[in-house]
């Protein structure tokens, strides 16, 4: 009888501690989807090279797309779209609105530009645009446009 009481009290203590400890455990924040990532490197001539990557994927919302275009426009980088289709994420009927098709181009201040097209009804996965800028010389170069359907 005494063993069962101790076991019951122990189980109750474990439940109470587990419940209370969940309030003290810091929860990690899930970061928002970032469409633009920058890294700064030094090349062999001692100049800073800023590598910028723009990622548009199935988790990119209309707001993310507008924010990315606005941010790049402040730097004279034009990310323009001839056509963008935004549908609901679950069979086009339910869920959040996400990009399902994108056709556009990116134009850098140095004059180089590249067009891209990705997506469809069920198969939009990713557009990754990578370009570099050599600081102090304002030399821009498109490194890669990766499209995954």
Per the structure block, which two tokens stand in for 17? 């501690």
Where are the domains positioned within the chain? Answer: 36-148
Q: How far apart are CA 119 and CA 85, in angstroms?
A: 9
Q: How far apart are CA 73 and CA 17, in angstroms?
A: 53
Q: Tens digits of per-residue pLDDT, 25-58? A: 444 343 334 789 888 888 777 788 989 999 988 7
H/E segment holding residue 96: strand 94-107
Q: Tens digits of per-residue pLDDT, 66-89? A: 999 999 999 899 999 999 888 776
């Amino acid at each position: 009888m005494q063993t069962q009481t101790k076991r019951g009290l122990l189980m109750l203590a474990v439940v109470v501690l587990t419940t209370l400890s969940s309030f003290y455990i810091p929860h990690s924040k899930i970061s928002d989807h970032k469409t633009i990532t920058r890294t700064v490197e030094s090349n062999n001539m001692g100049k800073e090279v800023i590598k910028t990557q723009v990622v548009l994927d199935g988790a990119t919302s209309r707001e993310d797309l507008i924010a990315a275009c606005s941010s790049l426009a402040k730097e004279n980088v034009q990310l323009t779209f001839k056509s963008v289709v935004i549908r609901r994420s679950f069979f086009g009927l339910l869920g959040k609105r996400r990009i399902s098709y994108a056709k556009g181009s990116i134009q850098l201040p140095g004059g180089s530009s590249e067009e891209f097209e990705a997506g469809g009804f069920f198969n939009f996965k990713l557009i990754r645009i990578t370009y570099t800028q050599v600081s102090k010389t304002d030399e821009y170069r498109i490194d890669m446009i990766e499209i995954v359907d």
